[in-house]
Structure 1
Amino acid sequence: MTVEQRRALVTAVPGPKSLELAARKAASVANGVGTILPAYIVEAGGGIVVDADGNQLIDFGSGIAVTTVGNAAPAVVRRVTEAVQRFTHTCFMVNPYEGYVEVAEQLAELTPGDHPKKSALFNSGAEAVENAIKIARVATGRSAVVCFDHAYHGRTNLTMALTAKDMPYKHGFGPFASDIYRVPMAYPYRWPGDPDAVAEEAFAQFESLVHVQVGEDQVAAVIIEPIQGEGGFIVPPEGFLPRLAQWCRDNGAVFIADEIQSGFCRTGDWFACDHEGVVPDLITTAKGIAGGLPLAAVTGRAELMDAVHAGGLGGTYGGNPVACAAALGAIEEMRSNDLNARAREIEAIFRTRLGQLAARHPQIGDIRGRGAMMAVELVLPGTKQPDAALTGAVAKACHAKGLVVLTAGSFGNVFRFLPPLSISDELLHEGLDLIDDAFAEVLHD
């Protein structure tokens, strides 16, 4: 690791060089491609990103859970360097190579369940989700897909149909794919019924709505994020996911776990499903799988994966050899450094510090998450009315102080914290100090 692990501000954030690059972006990049913090990065590692002006920022975002092992993890760099020197591409569907097979073997070993599994590799999370739906439809001979409120599954036409939030993900892009049905999510903080019976009541609503509006024998798949990401790090209560998985088994539907944001040690387990021993039929992965290089996968029961005819799955770049090398390096880092344990250590720090923050600020209505996937939901004091304005103001203050933070949530009122698992305790505490200062500054405490 060559990047010094300390925060340092040389200029305002963003500084003059970043502002110059932002002007170039405005002239040459489509406006639809937004930027949360226009501090242009030139180097990164551990828990620090360095911008074009020399500012060293603490990273609580990991490129939206992508650089779980850090931005320049040694095993990733080593394997990628070796791979790119051999060859950059052949297309696995034309001339295959061992790296693709090795990644599939690792996925079969690491994903939940001890049944025979196979994988197909792709480029992005949305592509993985779309192919999981294709596989489920072919395997079952059915077409209906059930998804949930607050879900995010991607930006392609089919995955926009699965995604719940209109702006900015769906607005103006319709019509969307058909035969998609949405049901309430078991969202403990905002559940309108008995707070002690969320799992039972939410599952009862799911069961009833599917029976009335879809028909059990028409359902090809039920897809859910075991911890919802863009929707606000919503953690369903114990028992909800096992009930859904059992319903799918009982009714011949495919249970798809979208672990694109929650997978690969992010939550303190290899996958969030592991927390309750849930075994999905298909699991989609991306983001943290390859240390920052574009790679995604669908892994599942061998008989389901093999239901699709030869040539029905694939893509020119899917499972690129350099990205596969990066994935093998990332998994090596996760194993050798026990990053599941590290994620649990990070959770303990966040829970303590966020609890202290909430005790001083009634605007924090809920603290939730698991592992290094933590969040707070901001509301107007004494209510559960979302406060997106406060969320945005605190985020802006954090950015100015040299801390990369992300917001989320259907109502835009959730701070989500996704630090790389390579970050030090010292940087975690300093980042949390900056969040504390930002709240005090914005609220004039």
Structure 2
Amino acid sequence: SEGGSPTTMRMVSQLLASLDGLQKMEGVIVIGTTNRLDSVDPATRRPGRFDREIFFAPPDSAGRLEILRIHSRAMPLSEEAFAYLDELAQMLHGFVGADLMELCREAGLNALRRKFGSGAGYASFPQAALEELTVEKADLERAVAKVTPSAMREVLVTVPDVRWDDIGGLNEAKEELKELVGVSLRRAGTFAASKIKPSPGILLYGPPGSGKSLLAQAVAREFQANFILVKGPEIFSKWLGESEAELRYIFQLAHRVVPCIILFEQIDTIAPRRGRDIGVQASERVVSQLLAEMDSIQPMSGMAVLGTTNRFDLIDPALLQARRFGAHILVPLPDELQRRQILSVHLRDVFLEEKASLEELVQRLAADTEGFSGAELESICHRAKMQALRGDNLEKPVPLTLEHLSEALTRIKRSRIAP
């Protein structure tokens, strides 16, 4: 009821009084449900009121398979579709019973659309035609593409579409990140047998624009993990306790949709060194809450936490301990070879004039961009493409030239030295 309206506070008071009165009654049980336990007034959770709490976790793969079979048992599944249920159960992380029921319903509708057309009135078709209908594997696949699990309808949760091929260079950082994330998401048995407890947190540090966030998104796609992006400055609230509650909710949500990767961008703004002048009490409470959440992560739980920073020195040392963010990966500015790789990625689909070769353009531009970040190289390529589109005839593609790239480079250089 904290911060609630007077009406809400009166309702809470009445509920508490009613719960207290139940102790004198027999044969009455009160059950409450919630998706956000932290939002419930603490007074209702005291002994004698709602003092028993049962957590309903999302089903595991075996549970998902059982639910899928329940909701599809009245459906005319083909043999291939029935066998596909096992594979679906393995891949539908974060789906709860209602989501799986909706998926089966959507698959049935897909089968009807396939046979009768999307605008057909199914009730008007003969029963014999409906009896010949079968739900195929393709109907289930289309349903999976359409149905979003309840937990992932949160704005926070996404499925990244960044591929390793979209990131030029950084080969050492890529391999190290894949190995470390694989420990948390895939290799549970190996480390449990050796009694080694890997660090749940991985810190990516380096200059701005070097590709830290892209690496995090690509590794999430590599392991088919759900992805929660938390931008540092946005976590803070002017209301007492809301920032800590938001952090708790983020970690609870991640546990519900494992395998999951949480990325804290600019983690130095969330967890700055305590005791500094910038460290207001609110900031110190958030640091303490983040430390507590990191300590609560069980090894190999299907969850990994990544952080990015341009200022390694500003992060609270307690967060950098081995049991929290114990793994640190440097993401440096690209050298000339890596700049070529990055430029090749961003220019691979462009239309070039006949006399120009992509390799030559990339080589010349890479030599002229020492000290540039990956983000700046991407910006150069984008500006050059936009410049090539400014011709009078937009009906046919305008070839990209070295002049377009040189002009874009000049503009970026000017912006680097601008006050």
Fold shared, TM-score > 0.5 on shorter chain: no
Which structure has more relative contact order (CA 8 Å, sep 6+)? It is: 1
Q: TM-score, normalised by structure 1?
A: 0.26
Q: TM-score, normalised by structure 2?
A: 0.27
Answer 1 or 2: which has greater helix percent: 2
Larger Rg: 2
Answer 1 or 2: which has greater strand percent: 1
